[in-house]
Chains A and B, each alone.
Chain A
């Protein structure tokens, strides 16, 4: 975990572009979240560091169970952290009293996956959107009404729905309400946890556009969590790939997606089915990059977390945890946690043996 702290420090150093706010508007440092389950204690988030600058979108990808939603909740201070810190605009959220934390919340807001479940079924659209303003005592009655109307317009909700209940709206409209509610207090940071994955494809595009426009218009720092790589690539400036509670690769979206260094990132990217003629062949390649099944968090592999599924794994991978290493050409933003990434990139890594292929079910 100490290595991750190093990575966090270097990552900060890397973002020289965020000159106005050199430390970034959101800084997550070495966060560890553990849960007690029936089977024992699991570490859902294991030493994650990241930072976000104003107007920037960081995409967080990973498969179910990798800890990305838990990380989002830790950042939102909705689940307790065992270690690490979350700094929002230079305030360490972990050190605040409950009351102080509540007062800070209008600066960091969240959009949830389940649009219907995240709205109180007995409140009208306008009172749902106005609630954050009310609880934070922002503006007078008339001012709040104006802000609500503005937020509704920003997310593309017609005035006519203001008095309706969530159950009377379509899924897309419900998610628009969720988004309007989260931006009405003009937060600095917006955390989106799988905001489109519960929606129908045609609605997904609309909601993605709404988020895209808002980010530009309101200069939001956005943490965008999704398992759909195409969506993440479309929206994100930078990307972090998570596996078993750790970030295994991070960098600008174009670098990570065009030149992925970590075998897991490579496997994820090749697994995305694309509508072209090479689709089936690509999936064959993907199968050779991600072997077997996700190990249990109750008994995570020693050393490199990915080694049990990695075709390039060696004894070294089992023995020591790979430290984050900078991928030199990328101006310091592209980091990867893999002992063999240079060899893999150069084609000189121990090649996937036929043995390990047969292991794959």
Chain B
């Protein structure tokens, strides 16, 4: 009857402390804070498409007379907002230009991983039984192995290049997608509308593609946003260890790696790209969790 549903139920049942931290951060954002997050993301996207608009200097122009300038110092070429490196290249310009590859690798690898994970999750969740057990064991086996170490091994054996990165990085994320999608598919399989689709005469591919997939899509999207951040971190880690992206290509991870030996004399070369990476991962995470919380409350 007309029992009014509670309007503010807080964060629901007790969650892990990790969730509570995210919950608090999301609350701090308020109802319009997410616009800031989206703006930041749009900036990153714009920087990867048209870096020249944002970069004040040529990112590759060396100038030995203005080496290791600190943030805010000027050279004859003009102001170096975030300083310069050992070859006198403008750090800000290099970070802007590095955005493209950083984003490209993170987004592509996540999408590939999501594709594999969603496919396996749907099949396993819907069919259950042997297929499910096989796929889930595969995911578990992979999770149990120190995949990061395997990645390092693989990359050092095959020689580091972007192509191999796009094979290795998806392997890190697909089990996460598979788990989430499988759980959703298991739940949805019991809904009457799936039975109704069978009764109507839908083929299995129709049921998977038109009924299950659209119903898990919102969760997949949210997960993608969060995982892009994680893949960014992994790529940075691999590049930092020297098995990821190689010069003259550049990513934030590589910048951090290049600056590391000079940490004592030129802290900005490591810290500033690191801060940018950290902020990006945080923003992606917050945005994903914010959407999750909102769609969870609505549905």
Contacts and interface: CB of A to CB of B under 8 A. Distances in A.
- In the complex, is A directly touching B at CB under 8 Å? yes
Interface string B195-208: 11111111100100
A49 B182 CA distance: 39
Interface in B180-237: 191-193, 195-203, 206, 210-211, 214-215
Interface stretch (A113-121, A148-156, A204-212, A256-264): A113-121
Interface in A107-132: 109-110, 112-114, 117-123, 131-132
A122 B192 CA distance: 14
A76 interface: yes
A209 to B, nearest CB: 23
A136 interface: yes
Given A117-B193, A121-B215, A78 B201 contact: no
Interface stretch (A98-106, A218-226, A241-249, A301-309): A98-106
Given A121-B215, A122-B214, A136 B196 contact: no
Contacts of B206: 135
Given A122-B214, A122-B215, A117 B202 contact: no
Given A117-B193, A120-B193, A135-B206, A103 B201 contact: yes
A102 B215 CA distance: 23
A105 B192 contact: no
Contacts of A339: none
Nearest to A131: B200
Contact of B196 (A102, A112, A121, A122): A112
B199 A105 contact: yes
Contacts of B203: 102, 135
Nearest to A134: B206
Contact of B195 (A78, A106, A121, A182): A78
Contact of B191 (A106, A117, A136, A178): A117
A31 B139 CA distance: 42
Q: Chain B at the A interface: mostly helix, strand, loop or mixed?
A: helix
Interface string A135-146: 110000000000
Interface in A52-96: 76, 78
Contacts of A106: 201
A181 interface: yes
A117 B192 CA distance: 5
Contact of B198 (A78, A113, A181, A182): A78
B193 A118 contact: yes
Contacts of A78: 195, 198-199
A78 B192 CA distance: 12
Given A121-B215, A122-B214, A132 B201 contact: yes
B215 A109 contact: no
A112 B192 contact: yes
B215 A135 contact: no
A181 B200 contact: yes
Contacts of B215: 120-122
Contacts of A104: 201
Given A120-B211, A122-B214, A105 B200 contact: yes
A109 B191 contact: no
Nearest to B203: A102
A117 B187 CA distance: 12
Nearest to B204: A98
A108 B202 CA distance: 13
A182 B201 CA distance: 11
A113 B196 CA distance: 11
B201 A135 contact: yes
A287 B196 CA distance: 38
B219 to A, nearest CB: 12
A135 B200 contact: yes
Contacts of B211: 120
B196 to A, nearest CB: 4
A78 B196 CA distance: 10
A110 B203 CA distance: 17
Nearest to A117: B192
Given A117-B191, A118-B193, A122-B214, A136 B199 contact: no
Contact of A118 (B192, B210, B214): B192
Interface in A25-66: none
Nearest to B218: A122
Contacts of B210: 120, 131
Nearest to B199: A110
Given A110-B196, A114-B192, 20 more contacts: A78-B199, A104-B201, A105-B199, A105-B200, A106-B201, A109-B199, A110-B199, A112-B192, A117-B191, A118-B192, A120-B210, A120-B214, A121-B215, A122-B214, A131-B200, A131-B210, A132-B200, A135-B200, A135-B203, A136-B201
7 contacts: A112-B195, A114-B192, A120-B210, A122-B214, A178-B196, A181-B196, A182-B200
